[in-house]
Amino acid sequence: MSNDNLRIIIIGGGAGGISAASTSKSVAPAASVTVFTEFEDVAYSPCGIPFVLGKEIPDFERLFLQTSEHYASIGIDLRLKTAVTGIDLEGRTVSVGADKFPWDRLIIATGFEYEKPEIPGIDLEGIHYVKNIRRAMEFDKILDSVKKVVVMAATPLGIEIAGNLAHRGLETHLVDEGAWLMSEVADPDIMEPVQKSLEELGTVIHFGVKVLEFRGAGGKLKSVVTTGGEIECDVAVIATHKKPNNRIAREAGVEIGSTGGIMVDDHMRTSVKDVYAAGDCAEVVHGVTDIPIQGLSGSHAYSQGRVAGANAGGVERAYDPVFVPWGMVGGQVQIGGVSLGETLHKALGIPHFVAAATGISRARYYPGVTRIRVKLIVDPETHRVLGAQMSGGEGIKERADFLAFSIKRGARIEDFAWMENVYSPPIGALMEPIALAAQAGLAELAKKK
């Protein structure tokens, strides 16, 4: 088919959808590219919302990366507040109510939705989810008049919200069933500095408790009842799991994988010819285990959108399995890693040993120096590094990116132990903490021989 007449429709205006639209338009300028989104806005950073709520960022306007007019100026037909209600795979149309729009290539980028906990009182006024920027703006105004907040679940979002609301000066309670923060993805020794930092900010953390009920009066939330007691509050934030928003894809007959995400190959092609998927609604392959995973970062969604957009526009592009470098700030502490940590390796039963050490971020005498803990998870047979976790005051993101790149290329613990590193007192210590961890791991191995 000539690209001159190509009609590309994208469902969803988040990172995956917008990057798909921009890439399609750039590789196939003559194609018609239409984006449907049920929301009022596109091209903003939802990941910045907790920091505006915490007054770290002064206003929501800064989170917008592009205007709607920009997309019109590059020839993208952006349909805001227009929810696609169905997909006809046979007739190759999408429906918006009674209206039908034909496509030659379809990209599904419908993102995620929060798992709504089945807890009595979940629909009370005062219970909030943090996702959409307009709702966050409304929530921000509400926060001006409240004193006590309960955040449910110590997930990455829950930790960001709890830290930021405490920073804002609110009495903040973080409630979680686990034994440590982010216990589903991170290890306790890595999270301990974050816990301390959150507590220093004033967050009250309730570990090992389950939320039983949201209790209200006159339809408004008044308290959260847990197995550890009742916590009075004015509002609650639900920060539980994200799940793929796959409803219209599933109803249309597009194949869904075991994670609940839309199954795609490395070209972001779904089970249906000329239909692609990208971002949080899709599942992709994990580079270390080969197992499909879902629900990654905005940068993953953006990259997947670019691949889907290029292929839909007729230019072949492939997406590699993911090694998932991640990082965030919890309280005042940076944490991050690559792939899976110790806990997840244990859960999956992947043979491994742990190499860990604590180093420093700058020369030990230089003002601002902080400790950096590095844990490498290593295959005992091949010595290939499988994953890593880190915490510290600075430089975690760069180390996570470097480790992800190295692990993807099969680096072994010996490679890290004897790596070269930058030494400059204001920005780097004599001994790189990653190298220290690797050397400690090798020393442990030598003892066992």
Question: CA 391, 392, 395: angle at the middle one, nearest 5?
Answer: 105
Give min distance, CB of 6 to another protein, in A: 24
* DSSP H or E segment with residue 375: strand 371-378
Q: Is 5 in the site for another protein (CB under 8 A)?
A: no
350 binds another protein (CB under 8 A): yes
What residues have CB less than 8 Å from 296, skipping those under 6 apart?
Answer: 280, 284, 322, 324
Q: Is 230 in the site for another protein (CB under 8 A)?
A: no
Does position 207 bind another protein by CB under 8 A?
Answer: yes
Closest contact distance (angstroms) between CB of 253 and another protein is 12
**Could you say whether residue 402 binds another protein (CB under 8 A)?**
no
Among 4, 61, 320, 398, binds another protein (CB under 8 A): 320
Q: How far apart are CA 198 and CA 192, in angstroms?
A: 10
Nearer to another protein, 113 or 266 (CB): 266
H or E segment to which residue 390 belongs: strand 385-392
Q: Which token pair is 87? A: 């997909």
Q: Which of 1, 72, 74, 318 binds another protein (CB under 8 A)?
A: 318
258 contributes a contact to another protein by CB under 8 A: yes
The reply on whether position 183 binds another protein by CB under 8 A is yes
| Nearest distance from C-beta of residue 439 to another protein, angstroms | 21
Report phi then psi at 216, rounded to 5.
Answer: -135, 175
Indicate whether 210 belongs to the interface with another protein (CB under 8 A).
Answer: yes
257 near another protein (CB under 8 A)? yes
> Which residues sit opposite 101 in a β-bridge?
94
Sign, CA dihedral 207-208-209-210, equals positive
285: contact with another protein by CB under 8 A: yes
3-class secondary structure, 327: strand
Q: Using alpha carbons only, give the angle 23, 10, 242 rounded to the nearest 5 degrees.
A: 100
For residue 346, state whether it binds another protein (rule: CB under 8 A): yes
**Residues comprising the chain, all counted:** 449
CB 205 within 8 A of CB 195: yes
- Residue from 90, 144, 290, 316 touching another protein (CB under 8 A): that is 290
In the complex, minimum distance from the CB of residue 218 to another protein, in angstroms, rounded to a whole number: 30
**Does residue 163 sit in helix, strand or coil?**
helix
Residues that bind another protein (CB under 8 A): 177-180, 183-184, 187-189, 191-192, 195, 207-210, 227, 255, 257-260, 263-266, 269, 284-285, 287-292, 318, 320-321, 342-344, 346-351, 408, 410
